[in-house]
A and B are shown apart, each in its own frame.
Chain A
Amino acid sequence: MDIVTFKDFSWRYAGYRGWTLSNINLSIKKGEFIGIIGKIGSGRTTFCSSMLGLIPHFYPGLMEGEIIVDGVNVEKTSISELSTRVGLAFQSPANQLTGAGTTIEEELAFGLQNLGIPYKEMHKKVRDMLKLIGLEHFGKRSPFELSGGQQQKVAIASVLIMNPKILVLDEPTSQLDPLGTEQVFDMVKKLSKKGITIIMSTNNINYLSKFADRIVLFDNKIVKVDTPDKILTDVELLREHALTHSDITEVSIRLKKMGLYNKELLVDFDDLKKVIEGLIK
């Protein structure tokens, strides 16, 4: 069942000549994990914003085509209404904080308050969420006191706590250290297993190769949609879009050159391990 459908969707920001996104046709199935890749300025953030309705409701511009999210037409539904179905973690976490709460707990509870969640349930959800993001000792601190990485976690949590069916993450690890990045990806993986549809924009190819069901390559239009092992091993294509292939692919390329391996290029660590183990034997 398709949970998100783009039909000939095009978008041009007011004051710009070119289309930021043109002729987007894409269907995303329920529970799918979609990785969005592309160079800077390829329209990835615009794409992410469109599912919550920030485009077209918030930004002025020209829209063509339509977007259906969880059965409703984005153009005809308010952002508040959409926010109960779609959670969008913004690229800059500081922008996600509403300032409505003086502490992290209150910041997390803000969305629940608006939805009228009862007192006890709200407190339980906030506690659980703090635990999930590993900030249980920071609950009483001000969100503006946190480091960029911690803010990023709070920002994702503030969206997640509203229990959306679709989680859209726009560069969720841009301010995180390697460990923080791993934690976020682990969290996302768990959510994905629970059946939440994940749409993640990131150029971290190593992680996408492990978790994503499909990869969409953007360059103001959809260049290619395919499985990670097809798209992430296409060295030429990635280079063309200012992206680099993973080290695992590089190893398989070299093995091929040396004549030790002659099948398709690899992107998954376990696959490479098997090949190398085979060679050693």
Chain B
Amino acid sequence: MANAGLTSYIEKNSYFHKVNPLTKLLILICVIILSFTLKNFIYILALLVIIIPIAIKSKVLSMTFSPIFKLYFMFILLFFIQGFFHPYATEKLIDLPFGFTLWKDGLLYAAYIAARIFVMMVFGYWFVLTTHPGDLVSSLSRIGLPHALGYIILTTLQIIPRFRTQMQTIIDAQRSRGLETQGNLIQRLKSFVPLLGPLFMGSVQQAVEKSMALEARAFSAKGEKTSYRQATIKTKDKVIMVITVLFSISWEVLSWTL
């Protein structure tokens, strides 16, 4: 696993890795707002045209789109459910046997939601790939994020991979005592139960130990805090920010006037 799998961040020397996290966060926020407010899904999907060159310039193109392919089943399900069972459907597309009807507005609605999820995920994942969590938190704390909240964000970003390694340790421990973890679905589900206890108890225990480690390093000391990582806002950040805001507004206006 790259970067020890602690976060999804990929260390690369690219133009967008050096862009201030706040700038990238602004892009992400604009994309999220746009994908909820644009008139139809074509306008939302069109945002992908922007992310492709950005992702290429960030040297993470294939990674940016990778989570989408893992979720293809969810998209199929979305189209299936909305296409056949959309509650407010009025326009028929095809009549199928056994009384099933494929609805046109159902499919359109599914496309709208799918486009939203798709675009937000791609931009979101690009953000995570190119932004060091430490930089993000240090920039956020400079614009007023409380110290403790910053720590929570940082550790949360690392919690899933750490959970995974902890889970593996417990699985190994239980297996060495004869727990069957392979076999059919029921067997595997059964073997899952004895893992949960240690996992949750362990997490609580760890939280206590972590708070001790934090206090031992003057975590709640009074006075000003400094940061080991420093991301400054440069001219290029300001330019990108202005472009992002201007583009978002005009795209929004365009989608509703055309």
Contacts and interface: CB of A to CB of B under 8 A. Distances in A.
B95 interface: no
B132 interface: yes
A114 B218 contact: yes
A115 B226 CA distance: 8
A98 B134 contact: no
Contacts of A97: 213
Contacts of A79: 215-216
A99 B132 CA distance: 14
**Shortest 5 CB-CB contacts between residues of A and residues of B:** A109-B228, A111-B217, A79-B215, A142-B4, A114-B218
A16 interface: no
Interface string B196-229: 0000000000000110111111111101111111
Interface stretch (B61-69, B117-125, B154-162): B154-162
Nearest to A79: B215
A144 B132 CA distance: 17
Interface string A116-129: 11110011001000
A79 B219 CA distance: 9
A84 B219 CA distance: 11
Given A80-B218, A142-B3, A142-B4, A116 B223 contact: yes
Contacts, number: 108
Contact of A122 (B3, B9, B220, B228): B228
A154 B158 CA distance: 19
B228 A115 contact: no
A14 interface: no
A8 interface: no
Given A78-B220, A112-B226, A119-B226, A106 B134 contact: yes
Choose among B132, B209, B215, B225 the residue with the greatest number of A CB atoms under 10 Å from its CB: B215
18 contacts: A52-B216, A54-B216, A78-B220, A79-B215, A80-B215, A80-B219, A80-B220, A83-B221, A84-B221, A90-B213, A99-B162, A102-B132, A113-B225, A115-B221, A115-B223, A122-B228, A126-B228, A162-B217
Contacts of B214: 98, 100
A95 B212 contact: yes
Given A106-B134, A113-B228, A142-B4, A100 B216 contact: no
Contacts of A123: 228
Interface of A: 52, 54, 58, 78-81, 83-84, 88, 90, 95-102, 105-106, 109-119, 122-123, 126, 141-142, 144-145, 158-159, 162
B146 to A, nearest CB: 13
Contacts of B60: none
A99 B218 contact: no
A113 B226 contact: yes
B227 A80 contact: no
Contacts of A100: 151, 154-155, 214
Nearest to B206: A95
Given A109-B228, A113-B228, A99 B221 contact: no
B230 interface: yes
Given A97-B213, A119-B227, A111 B6 contact: no
A80 B213 contact: no
B210 A99 contact: yes
Contact of A144 (B4, B215, B227): B4
A110 B7 CA distance: 18
